[in-house]
Chains A and B, each alone.
Chain A
Amino acid sequence: MCLAIPARIVEFSREQENYALVDVVGVRRYIDTGLLADDPPVPGDWVLVHVGFAMSKISEPEALDQLRMLNALGESQAVQEEAEGYGLEADEQFARGGEP
């Protein structure tokens, strides 16, 4: 719950505002970017995600540092579980067949 997980924005949902598909430690999940409303990210940007919500924009080197750091802290498994856990049993788009 206290983990800050770096994710890269892939694209925004057309149906739902502030809802972005991200690459997060090797899986694709939807996260909420509504807390960055003052300075919205664009596809390609890196963000730090807390409990499924993007909380700050970060640079790519910072994102890679953070991943390395989480690994060194022994949090890799917890990070993977949390990232895979976003979106419950995966979003409906995935259920209908593969990556959007």
Chain B
Amino acid sequence: MKFVDEFRDAAVIGRTVDEIRRLADPARHYRLMEVCGGHTHAIYRFGLKDLLPPNVELIHGPGCPVCVLPMGRIDDGLTMTEEPGVIFTAFGDMMRVPGTKGSPLQYKSRGADVRTVYSPADALRMAERNPDQRVVFFAIGFETTAPSTALTLLRARARGIRNFSVFCNHVTIIPGIRAILDSPDMRLDAFIGPGHVSTVIGCRPYEWIARNEHKPIVVSGFEPVDILQSVLMILRQLRNGEAKVENQYKRVVPWEGNRAALKAIAEVFELRNYFEWRGMGFISQSALAIRESFGAWDAERLFSIPGIRVTDPKAAQCGEVLKGVLKPEQCKLFGNECTPEHPVGALMVSSEGSCAAYHSYQHRKAFTNIAVNV
């Protein structure tokens, strides 16, 4: 295994891969879903699939917030830029994501006041410095970013900043996993649980997956050795006929999560009855809305939102790829009509979407292109 020699964990990686090969029953086919887009990126970047036996398949889950955001919500958000005195702020990741009439960046080039921020706190500060304008922050992300938006709203209230509002598009990971498990063509054996989401929610919210669905889930770090060790922990459980929640990423993820972050989320947000996930359809109680007590900072109450719905072309098979029924390259549009430059479906929209990751790294072999020069 020459290709891993330059990597710090070469010996551990080698031993882990050997152990995976020993444990994988050649008579079985294993389908493991990594829920988090960060894991998907790492798996492709490091060519981890090439290290696994062919009967251990990794399926790439719905954990890329930019990918699962319906295009209509981008359109809805961008209508606010037509109101007088509005500064529309969003993370850099959102700037090139297409809406029906263009991306936020294209709106900016047509004269809208659209600005990139790297933190919701900066959008709030922008509101403080521009008291005559209304600053809207386009909030997006799973439980990793929701606490920051929540704390920003708590700070806005404490400091009495009234020209700031949030267009809330936060989603929650558990209902997304549940929707995948509930789908009739689901054929997963286990999950690699998200790392950074779990620093916030902890490991308990996954217990139903083990208890009710009888599927192992291992919360994992992002290094190649972390992901491989998580695969090994899953295979051990499957061999022993077990289904439990395990935490491979103990050095960062506490079992109970981050209570202060969960408290901020609970204080500011409530669950929406349902929310659309691009590629998956409407999922009940899967997203956060701003509570009425924070209505003065809720862009959905302050602006008139058209509620635009955009349906992806039928030919795009994102749902099947998400559930592991199809691999990215098996979709009819992959690589010809649908590319990272011109995404047709959800999974091509961000570099953490499985189709975009596959498209970028499809020629890469395990570890060959890593430059370890820190």
Contacts and interface: CB of A to CB of B under 8 A. Distances in A.
Interface of A: 1-2, 4, 31-32, 34-38, 48, 50-53, 55-56, 58-59, 62, 64-65, 67-69, 71-74, 78, 81-83, 85-88
A67 B223 CA distance: 11
Given A35-B264, A58-B252, A86 B196 contact: no
A62 to B, nearest CB: 6
Contact of A88 (B122, B196, B370): B122
B143 to A, nearest CB: 10
Which one of B8, B65, B126, B147 has the highest number of Cβ atoms from chain A below 10 Å of its Cβ? B147
Given A2-B37, A35-B258, A68-B372, A86 B118 contact: yes
Contacts of B155: 32, 34
A53 B118 CA distance: 11
A99 B199 CA distance: 32
A87 B94 CA distance: 19
Contact of B141 (A1, A34, A74, A81): A1
Interface stretch (B23-31, B38-46, B77-85, B304-312): B38-46
Given A2-B141, A73-B42, A85-B122, A32 B151 contact: yes
A78 B140 CA distance: 18
Main secondary structure of the interface of A (DSSP, over half): mixed
> Number of contact residues on B: which range applies?
35 or more
B200 interface: yes
Interface in B78-131: 91-94, 116-122, 125-126
B293 interface: no
Contacts of A67: 374
Which one of B93, B261, B372 has the highest number of Cβ atoms from chain A below 10 Å of its Cβ? B261
Nearest to B92: A81
B352 A52 contact: no
Contacts, number: 126
Interface string B184-228: 000000000000100110000000000000000000001100000
A37 B260 contact: yes
Contacts of B370: 72
Nearest to B145: A51
Contacts of B199: 48, 55-56
A48 B184 CA distance: 39
Contacts of B140: 1
A70 B155 CA distance: 30
B336 interface: no
B148 interface: yes
A90 to B, nearest CB: 11
Given A1-B141, A34-B260, A68-B372, A51 B120 contact: yes
B252 A48 contact: yes
B239 interface: no
B373 interface: yes
Contact of B117 (A2, A69, A85): A85
Contacts of A81: 92, 118
Contact of B223 (A34, A69, A78, A87): A69
Contact of B45 (A56, A64, A73, A85): A73
19 contacts: A1-B140, A2-B196, A2-B352, A34-B151, A35-B258, A50-B145, A55-B147, A55-B196, A56-B254, A62-B251, A62-B252, A71-B373, A72-B372, A73-B42, A73-B45, A85-B92, A85-B122, A87-B122, A87-B125
